[in-house]
């Protein structure tokens, strides 16, 4: 029973010893679903990337994303400013959707990661571990920083027909945040987290 596992996508019963693991991890021999990933120093790297993401998230929300220069008249907007304008235009649901997918969910995700990874790094079991893992699984598809970057680029092009556009510092912070989050999702593996949790006291 200990050596048995199943493919999460096609239900194939697998013997862990038969699963041919390559250096990076293992996939299901029948449907090629990812079974697990292996990364050296997974916990340390995840922790470092989580801290970097928290700093970048803070910076990305403190600076303007885009500015406009219309006949000498300057306007610029931050992410919160964007959400505030949607709220004023009677679109509170869209404002909430915007803030949730670009700020709130990534922030909650990173805080939960830090809460989990710090104790695990020192062989301690974080309180509420299973609950937080479940929350992370549910929240993950809703963090859409990379889509937001593309949205900013498209609006830059659209606005360039109206006026001079000035890309704000927050664009670079969001760009870096996107890369850090992508790196984090390749380094982090839930099987590794559970194994460290089992080892910890």
Partner 1 sequence: MKLQTATQHDLALCEVCGQLGKLANNAQCIRCATRLHHRKPHSIQYTWALLIAAYVLYVPANLLPIMETRSLFGVQRDTILSGVAFLWNSGSWILALIVFIASVAVPMLKLLSMTLLVVSVQIKNTMAPLPRARLYRLLELIGRWSMLDVYVVAILVALVQAQSLATMAPGPGVLAFGAVVVLSMLATMAFDPRLIWDTANQTEINGEVSTHANQSTAA
Q: If binding means CB under 5 A, how many residues of this protein chain bind Zn ion?
A: 8
- Measured CA to CA, the distance from residue 121 to residue 23 in angstroms comes to 23
How many Cβ atoms from other residues are within 10 Å of residue 66's Cβ? 19
Stretch that binds partner 1, among 50-58, 112-120, 125-133, 180-188 (CB under 8 A): 125-133
> What letters, b where the CB count within 10 A reaches 16 and e where it falls short, cover 156-185?
eeeeeeeeebeebebbebbbbbbebbebbe
In degrees and rounded to multiples of 5, residue 171 shows phi and psi of -60, -45
In degrees and rounded to multiples of 5, residue 33 shows phi and psi of -70, 145
Stretch that binds partner 1, among 39-47, 114-122, 147-155, 179-187 (CB under 8 A): 147-155
Q: Is 7 in the site for Zn ion (CB under 5 A)?
A: yes
Longest dimension (CA), the chain: 72
Minimum distance between the CB of residue 180 and partner 1, rounded to whole angstroms? 18
- Measured CA to CA, the distance from residue 95 to residue 98 in angstroms comes to 5
Site string for partner 1, 9-48 (x = CB under 8 A): xxxxx----------------xx-x---------------
The half-sphere exposure of 155 on its side-chain side, counting CA atoms within 13 A, is 16
Q: Which does 182 bind (CB under 5 to 8 A by kind): Zn ion, partner 1, none?
A: none
Stretch that binds Zn ion, among 11-19, 118-126, 143-151, 166-174 (CB under 5 A): 11-19
Q: Is 83 in the site for partner 1 (CB under 8 A)?
A: yes
Collapsed DSSP state (helix, strand, coil) of residue 11: coil
Q: Is 82 in the site for partner 1 (CB under 8 A)?
A: yes
- In the complex, the residues that contact partner 1 under the rule CB under 8 A are 1, 4-6, 8-13, 30-31, 33, 65-66, 68, 70-71, 73, 75-77, 81-86, 89, 91, 93-95, 97-98, 101, 129-130, 133-134, 137, 141-142, 144, 147-148, 150-155, 157-159, 161-163, 190-191, 194, 198
């Amino acid at each position: 029973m200990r050596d048995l596992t199943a493919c999460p996508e096609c239900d194939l019963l697998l013997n862990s010893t038969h699963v041919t693991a390559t250096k990076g991890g293992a996939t299901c021999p029948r449907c090629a679903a990812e079974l697990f990933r292996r990364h050296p120093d997974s916990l340390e790297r995840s922790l470092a990337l989580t801290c970097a993401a928290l700093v970048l998230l803070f910076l990305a929300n403190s600076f303007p994303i885009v500015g406009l220069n219309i006949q000498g008249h300057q306007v610029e907007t931050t992410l919160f400013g964007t959400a505030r304008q949607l709220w004023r235009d009677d679109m509170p649901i869209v404002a909430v959707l915007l803030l949730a997918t670009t700020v709130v969910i990534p922030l909650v995700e990173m805080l939960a990661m830090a809460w989990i990874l710090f104790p695990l790094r020192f062989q301690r079991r974080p309180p509420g571990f299973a609950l937080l893992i479940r929350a992370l699984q549910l929240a993950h598809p809703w963090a859409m920083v990379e889509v937001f970057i593309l949205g900013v680029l498209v609006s830059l092009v659209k606005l360039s027909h109206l006026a001079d556009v000035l890309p704000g510092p927050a664009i670079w912070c969001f760009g870096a945040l996107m890369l850090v989050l992508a790196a984090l999702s390749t380094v982090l593996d839930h099987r590794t987290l559970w194994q460290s949790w089992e080892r910890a006291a």
